[in-house]
Amino acid sequence: MDSKRTESRGARLPGVRPAVVGLDDRDFAILEALQEDGRLPLSELGRRIGLSQPAVSERVKRLEERGVIAGYGARIDLAAVGLRMTAIIRLKTTHEHIRPCLNAFEALPYIVEVHRVTGNDCFVLKAIVPAPEHLAIIVDAIGRFGEVTTSLVLRSEPERPISRELMIAARGRD
């Protein structure tokens, strides 16, 4: 068999990572706890899940190395830093505009999320701006690529952590 092939049959699709296997209940407990508080001391994490600090440290390191833990970050109060409006922007464009659109999104600092989607729209964007005139700049900049629809967010609910049940279901386990 060709050594360049992945473990699964056939070639690996670009940008598609295989599912991570080999996680046990303690790994899931670590992931749940770190989603709630990424600054949780490893000694406290170990106490919660019944492992020593060195054992937890080794597991966290392994989860980081395998890419299961992709990073750590802080949640910022957007209004406290002057970003008072959130908008969801949908863009319907053509295939030849996909790469130019991505380049344009990258150049617009107020666009904080880009999702390529199926259906009538090609992209769903999340933009956070200080004032309406900044939103107008975004709409004007991407409007040349196609039809733009914008919705202002009235309120956002806190993002939910990825549950153990969802992680298990994604792996195909009961």
Distance CA 86, CA 78 (A): 9
pLDDT in tens, 72-98: 988 899 999 999 999 999 999 999 999
pLDDT, residue 15, reads: 58
pLDDT, residue 171, reads: 73
pLDDT, residue 16, reads: 52
Pick the CATH number of 25-73 from 1.10.10.10, 3.10.310.70, 3.40.309.10, 1.10.150.80: 1.10.10.10
20 touches 66 (CB < 8 A): yes
pLDDT, residue 6, reads: 33
pLDDT in tens, 92-144: 999 999 999 999 999 999 999 999 999 999 999 999 999 999 999 999 999 99
Considering the chain, what is the average pLDDT of its residues?
A: 88
* pLDDT score of 59 more than 70: yes
Hey, what long-range contacts does 154-161 have (CB within 8 A, 24 or more apart)? Answer: 156/86, 161/32, 161/35, 161/36
Tell me the domain boundaries of the chain: 25-73, 79-152
pLDDT, residue 126, reads: 98
Q: Which fold has domain 79-152?
A: Alpha-Beta Plaits (3.30.70)
Can you list the positions of beta strands (E) in 47-110? 85-92
pLDDT, residue 103, reads: 98
